C-alpha cells in the first residue's frame, strides 16, 4: 500500500553527512512507503541554544521550522548533529509534537555506545532511522506503544533504542495505516 500524495521533506540542520540524510530517507520509504525529499540545509539555530545547559531547545527549533514555508511537503523531518533537550528532560534523541508538522532528530548521542565506545557507522545510521521513524509516527498521531519491540515504544536510552525493532507492532501498523488514509483523503493505491 503506498500513499504517493503524502510528501515528506528531510531538512539537514548545519553540516549533516549526506549519507545520514539518504539513510533516513530510505528508512522512511522502506517502512512508511513514503517518499522523502532531501531539502537544502538550514543554518544552526543559535536562537535555540541554551547557554546554561549548553544544549539546543528542541521545542524552539520545531516552532521556528513549523513557521517556515515548506508548502510542498506534508511533514518535515529535520536532522541536527547537536545535543537536544526539552525543559523537563536532560536530553532527547528526537522531538515531535503529537499530530504536528515538524519532527527533529538529533544524531549527537547516537555516535557512542552505552559503555562510551564509538559506535560503527551502520549502527549510527540505523539508530537515526529508528528515531526518525518514531518521531514521524508522532506526526501521524501515533502514541507511544507499550510493546517494547515496536518502533513507537519510548526509548529513554541507547540500549532501549538498540533493542527496538524497525517495525510497528500490529496495533501501531493499523493506526498508522488509518492515519495515512485519513491524511490527504487517502488515495489507496494498493496492488
User: Measured between alpha carbons, how far is 41 from 14 in angstroms, rounded to an integer?
Assistant: 6
- 64 in Cβ contact with 45 (< 8 Å): yes
User: Measured between alpha carbons, how far is 17 from 160 in angstroms, rounded to an integer?
Assistant: 25
Instruction: Give the residue, chosen from 40, 87, 185, 191, that forms a contact with another protein under the rule CB under 8 A.
Output: 87
- 159 in Cβ contact with 114 (< 8 Å): yes
Instruction: Give the residue, chosen from 64, 86, 179, 186, that forms a contact with another protein under the rule CB under 8 A.
Output: 86
- Indicate whether 49 belongs to the interface with another protein (CB under 8 A): no
- Indicate whether 77 belongs to the interface with another protein (CB under 8 A): no
Helix (H) or strand (E) holding 72: none
Which residues are CB-contacts of 183 (< 8 A; sequence separation ≥ 6)? Answer: 3, 6, 74, 140
Nearest-approach distance from CB 161 to another protein, in angstroms? 10
Instruction: Give the residue, chosen from 22, 35, 38, 91, that forms a contact with another protein under the rule CB under 8 A.
Output: 91
* Residues labelled catalytic: 135
- Indicate whether 146 belongs to the interface with another protein (CB under 8 A): yes
Instruction: Give the residue, chosen from 101, 144, 177, 181, that forms a contact with another protein under the rule CB under 8 A.
Output: 144
- Indicate whether 80 belongs to the interface with another protein (CB under 8 A): no
> Residue 102: helix, strand or coil by DSSP?
strand
- Indicate whether 156 belongs to the interface with another protein (CB under 8 A): yes
Kindly report the length of the chain: 191
Nearest-approach distance from CB 113 to another protein, in angstroms? 16
Site residues, another protein (CB under 8 A) = 53, 59, 85-93, 97-98, 138, 143-146, 154-157, 160, 171
Amino acid at each position: 500500500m503506498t500513499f504517493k500524495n503524502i510528501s515528506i521533506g528531510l531538512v539537514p540542520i548545519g553540516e549533516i553527512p549526506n549519507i545520514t540524510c539518504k539513510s533516513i530517507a530510505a528508512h522512511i520509504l522502506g517502512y512508511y512507503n513514503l517518499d522523502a525529499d532531501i531539502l537544502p540545509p538550514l543554518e544552526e539555530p543559535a536562537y535555540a541554544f541554551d547557554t546554561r545547559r549548553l544544549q539546543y531547545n528542541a521545542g524552539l527549533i520545531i516552532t521556528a521550522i513549523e513557521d517556515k514555508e515548506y508548502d510542498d511537503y506534508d511533514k518535515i523531518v529535520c536532522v541536527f548533529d547537536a545535543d537536544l533537550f526539552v525543559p523537563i528532560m536532560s536530553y532527547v534523541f528526537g522531538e515531535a509534537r503529537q499530530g504536528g508538522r515538524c519532527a527533529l532528530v538529533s544524531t549527537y548521542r547516537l555516535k557512542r555506545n552505552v559503555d562510551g565506545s564509538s559506535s560503527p557507522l551502520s549502527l549510527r545510521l540505523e539508530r537515526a532511522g529508528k528515531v526518525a521513524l518514531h518521531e514521524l509516527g508522532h506526526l501521524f498521531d501515533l502514541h507511544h506503544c507499550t510493546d517494547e519491540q515496536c518502533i513507537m515504544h519510548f526509548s529513554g536510552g541507547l540500549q532501549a533504542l538498540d533493542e527496538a525493532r524497525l517495525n510497528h507492532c500490529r496495533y501501531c501498523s493499523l493506526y498508522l495505516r488509518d492515519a495515512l488514509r485519513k491524511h490527504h483523503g487517502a488515495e489507496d493505491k494498493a496492488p
